[in-house]
Amino acid sequence: MTFRRSKNILKTAFPTVVIMTLLLGCGGGTGNSGSGGSGSPPVNNTVSVQVNPGPANNYVNGLFVSVTVCEPGTSTCQTIPNVTLDTGSMGLRLLSSQVTLLLPGVNVSGNALQECVSFADGSYVWGPVVTADIQMAREKASSVPVQIISATPSYPAPPECAGSGSDDNTVEILGANGILGIGNFRQDCGPACTSSSTSLPPMYFLCSGSTCTTTAVPLASQLQNPVWLFPQDNNGVLISLPAVPATGSPSVSGSLFFGIGTQADNALGSAQVYTTDASGNFITTFKNVAYHQSYLDTGSNGFFFLDPSTVGIPTCSDNSSFYCPPSTVQYTATTTGLNGTSAQISFSVANADSLFSTHNWAFSNLGGPSPRVFDWGLPFFFGRNVFVGIEGQTSPAGVGPYWAY
Q: What is the pLDDT of residue 150?
A: 93
Question: Left, alpha or beta for 137 (phi > 0: left; psi -120 to 50: alpha)?
Answer: left
Instruction: Provide the residue type at 43 as one letter.
Output: V
Question: Left, alpha or beta for 154 (phi > 0: left; psi -120 to 50: alpha)?
Answer: alpha
Q: Which of 127, 222, 107 is nearest to 167 (CA)?
A: 127
52: Cβ contacts below 8 Å, ≥ 6 apart: 59, 62, 64, 250, 251, 252, 361, 362
Q: What is the pLDDT of residue 161?
A: 87
229: Cβ contacts below 8 Å, ≥ 6 apart: 141, 142, 144
- Cα separation values, 31 from 26, 293, 327, Å: 15, 26, 51
Q: What is the pLDDT of residue 91?
A: 98
Q: What is the pLDDT of residue 162?
A: 75
Q: What is the pLDDT of residue 196?
A: 78
Q: What is the pLDDT of residue 4?
A: 46
For residues 45 and 390, what is the distance between their CA atoms, to the nearest angstrom? 16
For residues 107 and 122, what is the distance between their CA atoms, to the nearest angstrom? 28
Q: What is the pLDDT of residue 244?
A: 98
Instruction: Provide the residue type at 279 as one letter.
Output: S
Fold of the domain spanning 46-229: Cathepsin D, subunit A; domain 1 (2.40.70)
- E strands of 317-358, at which residues? 319-323, 329-336, 342-349
Backbone angles phi, psi at 295, to 5 degrees: -160, 165
Question: Which DSSP symbol is given to 221?
Answer: G
Q: From first to last of its 405 residues, what are the pLDDT tens digits of the chain?
A: 344 455 555 443 332 222 233 333 344 443 444 444 445 678 899 999 999 999 999 999 999 999 999 999 999 999 999 999 999 999 999 999 999 999 999 998 888 999 999 887 788 999 999 999 999 999 999 999 999 999 998 999 999 887 768 899 999 999 999 999 999 999 999 999 998 776 899 999 999 888 899 999 999 999 999 999 999 999 999 999 999 999 999 999 999 999 999 999 999 999 999 999 999 999 999 999 999 999 999 999 999 999 887 678 999 999 999 999 999 999 999 999 999 999 999 999 999 999 999 999 999 999 999 988 999 999 999 999 999 999 999 999 999 999 999
Q: Name the 3-class secondary structure at 360.
A: coil
CA 153, 158, 164, 168: dihedral to nearest 10 degrees?
-30
Q: What is the pLDDT of residue 11?
A: 41
For residues 163 and 149, what is the distance between their CA atoms, to the nearest angstrom? 17
94: Cβ contacts below 8 Å, ≥ 6 apart: 67, 69, 80, 83, 146, 147, 148, 149, 177, 178
Q: Name the 3-class secondary structure at 264.
A: helix
